[in-house]
């Protein structure tokens, strides 16, 4: 296998792109619009894998170039796993998504009476290299729902996920600290290891 020097990324989320560029320092991450593709893909899957693999395959077919996609969410077991795979659309009305802060407030309100405040971020990350070469990983980051939002870093649910062993929310971590413990950081390191293993074999 040739070394992978660039990957097209199926995302419209700029925050995610910034994180991904930190997490894949040796690989040029490019956006589909650089090749005139919208990369738009409706995330209608029922699992993180459905969405990540669906996005990556769609982009791979459109461009004929190696494609990376991730799908992630926050699960609260005491809420039956909500918001889960619907995390980014949580509380959306008529397809109109809430702003991060409003979504966080909504989830904390629903969780107000919960004794079991455990939660976990999940990230499924997929690379489609060719018609018959796929890399799939799924990783988690365990925490507790905070009493209220704290911290300015990160994005999404980061301000309301408190990490007991660090005593801060994910949004209070520096970028390198977040990458070390986050679901997306763990997934990226496993993907990089798989890419490196393929390179060694090829």
Least Cα distance to 43 among 65, 12, 80, 75 occurs for 12
Q: Are 56 and 32 in contact (CB under 8 A)?
A: no
Segment near a copy of itself (CB under 8 A), from 29-37, 47-55, 162-170, 181-189?
Answer: 47-55
Three-state secondary structure along 107-160?
A: HHHHCCCCCCCEEEEEEEEEEEEECCEEEEEEEEEEEEECCCCCCCCCCCCHHH
User: Is 175 considered catalytic here?
Assistant: no
Active-site entry in 71, 100, 102, 158: 71
Q: Tell me: does residue 46 bind a copy of itself (CB under 8 A).
A: yes
Minimum distance of a copy of itself from residue 132's CB (angstroms): 4
Within 48-87, the residues that bind a copy of itself by CB under 8 A are 49-51, 53-54, 57-58
> How far from 111 is each of 70, 90, 105, 115, CA to CA, in Å?
27, 14, 10, 9
Minimum distance of a copy of itself from residue 119's CB (angstroms): 20
Site string for a copy of itself, 92-131 (x = CB under 8 A): ---------------------------------------x
Distance CA 66, CA 52 (A): 14
Minimum distance of a copy of itself from residue 75's CB (angstroms): 15
Q: Tell me: does residue 44 bind a copy of itself (CB under 8 A).
A: yes
Residues that bind a copy of itself (CB under 8 A): 1, 43-47, 49-51, 53-54, 57-58, 131-134, 136, 198, 201-202
């Amino acid at each position: 296998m040739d070394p992978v020097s660039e990957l097209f990324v199926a995302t419209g989320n700029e925050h995610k792109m910034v994180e991904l560029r930190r997490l894949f320092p040796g690989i040029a991450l490019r956006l589909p619009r650089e090749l005139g593709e919208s990369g738009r893909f409706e995330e209608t899957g029922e699992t993180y894998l459905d969405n990540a693999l669906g996005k990556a395959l769609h982009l791979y077919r459109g461009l004929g170039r190696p494609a990376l996609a991730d799908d992630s969410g926050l699960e609260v077991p005491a809420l039956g796993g909500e918001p889960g795979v619907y995390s980014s659309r949580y509380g959306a009305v008529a397809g109109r998504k809430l702003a991060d802060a409003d979504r966080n407030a909504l989830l904390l309100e629903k969780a107000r009476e919960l004794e079991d405040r455990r939660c976990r971020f999940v990230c499924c990350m997929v690379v489609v290299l060719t018609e018959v070469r796929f890399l799939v990983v799924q990783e988690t980051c365990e925490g507790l729902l905070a009493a209220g939002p704290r911290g300015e870093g990160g994005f999404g649910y980061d301000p309301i996920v408190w990490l007991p062993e660090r005593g801060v929310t994910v949004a209070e971590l520096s970028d390198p600290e977040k990458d070390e413990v986050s679901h997306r950081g763990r997934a990226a390191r496993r993907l990089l290891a798989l890419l490196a293993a393929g390179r060694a074999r090829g």
